[in-house]
């Protein structure tokens, strides 16, 4: 199995934690970076090779992860010099990717079975399989149903349930052959295009642990929960943590 990890974002919502370190390398529980956890999980589920799509402070990620040997993985890199969206970085290297592969954001903390997602997708014939998670959002307000200037219904602080994308996907290479290298392409645009073509993506419903570490509050939650969740997230501690590198590109890191 092969996986592509998107690790090129600037992590602006997570500042100041990402001022000196790219988001995939911020530490969780003072022991591992998010990217280390993800790589160990992937190897545990049978992934043998990984492509890291890097951009902002990509040199630090290269220096820290190297060729992936300490994770028992073969790690290669693709670097974007300008933002290409979530799918765009894959288009120039399509010929190097296998028929089916996993793709995920580099800031996801979850105990999903990557192997189960991969194998379901390979059997399904779907162009993409999107891992989904059900969210429950409570409204702080009374919600009115209004028709032609009249209230026809009222709900006091209702709870809305909806499925969201986890930022974890399984792809078929053939799905991307229609798009030229260099095109800025996001998953949202790709899914809309597939729906227009009448080839809808499949879903992989997941109800375990999932946290998208995109904001300081999410990062604080991940650190608070890691001690309790570490054996669930990493059932086998086979690797020793490494010190996180200090960025040289930003003078603020010197302070």
Q: Please state, in angstroms and rounded to a whole number, the distance separating the CA atoms of residues 209 and 133.
A: 9
pLDDT at 170 exceeding the cut of 80: yes
* Mean of pLDDT over the chain: 84
More confident residue, 39 or 83: 39
Average pLDDT over residues 47-64: 88
pLDDT at 233 exceeding the cut of 90: no
Confidence of residue 243 (pLDDT cuts 50, 70, 90): very low
pLDDT of residue 236: 62
Contact indicator for 172, 127 with CB cutoff of 8 Å: yes
Q: Which two tokens stand for residue 213?
A: 């570490």
Cis peptide before 16 (omega within 30 of 0): yes
pLDDT at 10 exceeding the cut of 70: no
Q: Which two tokens stand for residue 46?
A: 């049978």
List b or e across 45-73, with b for residues whose CB sees 16 or more CB atoms inside 10 angstroms: bebebbbbbbbbbbebbeebbeebeebeb
Residues 6+ apart with CB under 8 A from 141: 157
pLDDT at 229 exceeding the cut of 80: yes
pLDDT of residue 217: 80
Assign 35 to helix, strand or coil. helix
DSSP letter (8 states) at residue 214: -
Q: Which two tokens stand for residue 194?
A: 């597939």
Dihedral of CA atoms 38, 40, 45, 47 in degrees, nearest 10, equals 80
Residues in the chain: 255
- C-alpha 211 chain-centroid distance: 10
Q: Please state, in angstroms and rounded to a whole number, the distance separating the CA atoms of residues 204 and 131.
A: 5
pLDDT at 77 exceeding the cut of 80: yes
Residue showing tokens 């300490």: 70
pLDDT at 255 exceeding the cut of 50: no
Which domains does the chain possess?
A: 2-254 (3.90.550.10)
Q: Which two tokens stand for residue 53?
A: 């799509």
Confidence of residue 220 (pLDDT cuts 50, 70, 90): confident
Name the CA radius of gyration of the chain, rounded: 20
Chain segment 95-113, per-residue pLDDT in tens: 999 999 999 998 898 999 9
Q: Within a 10 A sphere around the Cβ of 119, how many other Cβ atoms?
A: 15
Q: Following DSSP, what letter does each residue of 124-150 receive, concatenated?
A: H--SEEEEEEEEEEE-SSEEEEEETTE
Average pLDDT over residues 84-101: 91
Confidence of residue 237 (pLDDT cuts 50, 70, 90): low
pLDDT at 205 exceeding the cut of 60: yes
Q: Please state, in angstroms and rounded to a whole number, the distance separating the CA atoms of residues 40 and 233.
A: 10
Contact indicator for 45, 92 with CB cutoff of 8 Å: no
Residue ranges of alpha helices (H) inside 77-126 are: 114-124
pLDDT of residue 182: 84
Confidence of residue 248 (pLDDT cuts 50, 70, 90): very low
Confidence of residue 168 (pLDDT cuts 50, 70, 90): very high
């Amino acid at each position: 199995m092969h996986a592509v990890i998107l690790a090129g974002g600037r992590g602006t919502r997570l500042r100041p934690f990402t001022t000196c370190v790219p988001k995939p390398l911020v530490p969780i529980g003072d022991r591992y970076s998010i990217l280390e956890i993800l790589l160990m999980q992937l190897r545990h589920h049978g992934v043998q090779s990984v492509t890291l799509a890097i951009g902002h402070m990509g040199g630090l990620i290269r220096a820290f992860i190297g060729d992936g040997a300490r994770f028992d993985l073969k790690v290669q890199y693709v670097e974007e010099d300008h933002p290409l969206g979530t799918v765009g970085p894959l288009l120039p290297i399509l010929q190097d990717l296998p028929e089916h592969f996993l793709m995920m954001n580099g800031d996801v903390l979850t105990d999903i079975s990557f192997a189960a997602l991969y194998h379901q997708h390979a059997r399904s014939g779907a162009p993409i399989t999107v891992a989904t998670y059900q969210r429950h959002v409570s409204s702080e307000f009374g919600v009115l149903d209004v028709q032609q200037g009249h209230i026809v219904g009222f709900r006091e602080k209702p709870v809305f349930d909806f499925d969201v994308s986890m930022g974890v996907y399984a792809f078929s290479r053939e799905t991307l052959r229609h798009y030229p290298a260099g095109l800025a392409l996001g998953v949202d645009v790709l899914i809309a295009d597939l729906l227009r073509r009448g080839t809808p993506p499949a879903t992989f419903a997941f109800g375990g642990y999932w946290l998208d570490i995109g904001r300081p509050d999410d990062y604080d939650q991940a650190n608070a929960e890691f001690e309790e969740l570490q054996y669930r997230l990493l059932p086998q501690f086979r690797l020793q943590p490494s010190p996180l590198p200090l960025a040289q590109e930003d003078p603020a890191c010197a302070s």
